[in-house]
Amino acid sequence: MKIGFIGLGNMGAPMAKNLVAAGHEVTGFDVQAPVPEGTERAASAAEAATGADVVITMLPNGEILRKVAAEVIPAMTKGAVFCDCSTVDVESARAVADQAAKAGVLAVDAPVSGGVGGAAAGTLTFMAGGSDDAFAIVKLLFDIMGQKAVHCGASGAGQAAKICNNMILGVTMIATCEAFALADKLGLDRQKMFDVVSTSSGYSWTMNAYCPAPGVGPKSPSDNEYRPGFASELMLKDLRLSQLAAQAVDADTPMGQLAASLYETFVEKEDGKGMDFSAMLPRFEKRKRA
């Protein structure tokens, strides 16, 4: 396939590389980052999109996505697919899909889970929103860049799934970290805490697969001085998106709201910026009851 790839940062570059390695013809554009080897460099986003069967975007946020989409969609061939893999607000995903529909272009919102490691290894999970026809086309590419792709529903459903998942993740990480800090103060050995919880009803991905306590459980960013991994500021971004969505549909999400506010404090007022999101554990270790 002929693919236009816009946004070749930490995630986009390895994803594009995997498409090139699988034999696809990729033309890339980024305002800053260099294009990866094997990718042709376009002079603009519109140029990267011209004549492409699929245009993939991997951009920082919804505002930039809307700007890029406004430039790119008019340059696309009718029947081609605009596939956004960034994590953005549901409203932006739906606005871009509407714009695409008006131009006779198919649209898929397909945020990913799996981080930079998953992008490099081609083991991302894609959660997609859009029509069956559009999904069928991009699924061929998701199978190269990832290990799983779930068609979640109509436009916006991919972003909805992503922010709900990450709201659970943020809340669960905080719960796991505060429980470890409490266990410390109760004199409980961390390894014993892990042995019990990881096989009891408190188990979770954050405890079992990404344990925030160094030296306990499988290797995770806590064993690497909390270098990300998944940075706290990216978790804050996703929690804010979950709260934007909750406001828009009048959903009561008290735990998500509290998680967003704790990560906001951690990132903006404390030393959380640039640290993995599991660094909430050393934060709680230092604190007394509020």
Binding of ligand NAD by 87 (CB under 6 A): yes
* Interface residue with ligand NAD, options 18, 27, 86, 176 (CB under 6 A): 86
Tell me how far, at minimum, the Cβ of 105 lies from ligand NAD, in Å.
18
Angle subtended at Cα 234 by Cα 262 and Cα 60, rounded to the nearest 5 degrees:
140
Q: How far is the CB of 153 from ligand NAD (least distance, A)?
A: 20
Q: Which residue is nearest to ligand NAD (CB)?
A: 9
Q: Does 112 bind ligand NAD (CB under 6 A)?
A: yes
Beta strand 25-29 with 2-6: parallel, antiparallel or unpaired? parallel
Q: Does 234 bind ligand NAD (CB under 6 A)?
A: yes
Site residues (CB under 6 A) for ligand NAD, limited to 133-192: none
Determine the Cα–Cα distance for residues 153 and 135; give it in Å rounded to an integer: 10
Distances (CA, A) of 259 to 37, 81, 170, 231: 40, 36, 6, 15
Residue 102 annotated among the catalytic residues of the structure? no
Helix (H) or strand (E) holding 173: helix 157-185
**Which two structure tokens, joined as six digits, stand for 233?**
């500021």
> Which of these segments, 108-116, 186-194, 251-259, 268-276, binds ligand NAD (CB under 6 A)?
108-116
Distance CA 175, CA 181 (A): 10
Q: Smaller CB distance to ligand NAD: residue 88 or 181?
A: 88
Show Cβ contacts of residue 288 under 8 Å, excluding neighbours closer than 6 positions: none
Span 18-57, contacts to ligand NAD by CB under 6 A: 29-33, 45
Among 101, 103, 116, 188, binds ligand NAD (CB under 6 A): 116
Dihedral through CA 254, CA 256, CA 258, CA 259, nearest 10?
Answer: 160
**Token pair for 166:** 């990450």
Among the listed residues 67, 162, 219, 237, the single catalytic one is 162
CB 277 within 8 A of CB 232: yes
Choose the binding region for ligand NAD from 111-119, 131-139, 201-209, 255-263 (rule: CB under 6 A). Answer: 111-119
Per the CB < 8 A criterion, the answer to whether 158 and 265 are in contact is no
Element (H, E) at 2: strand 2-6
Shortest distance, CB of residue 2 to ligand NAD, whole angstroms? 19
Written as six digits, the tokens of 209 are 């697969």
To ligand NAD, the closest distance from the beta carbon of 270 in angstroms equals 21
With CB under 6 A as the contact rule, the residue among 16, 52, 58, 174 that binds ligand NAD is 58
Identify which of residues 197 and 233 has a Cβ nearer to ligand NAD in the complex.
233
Residues that bind ligand NAD (CB under 6 A): 6-12, 29-33, 45, 58-60, 64, 67-68, 86-87, 112, 115-116, 230, 234, 237
Residues forming the active site: 162
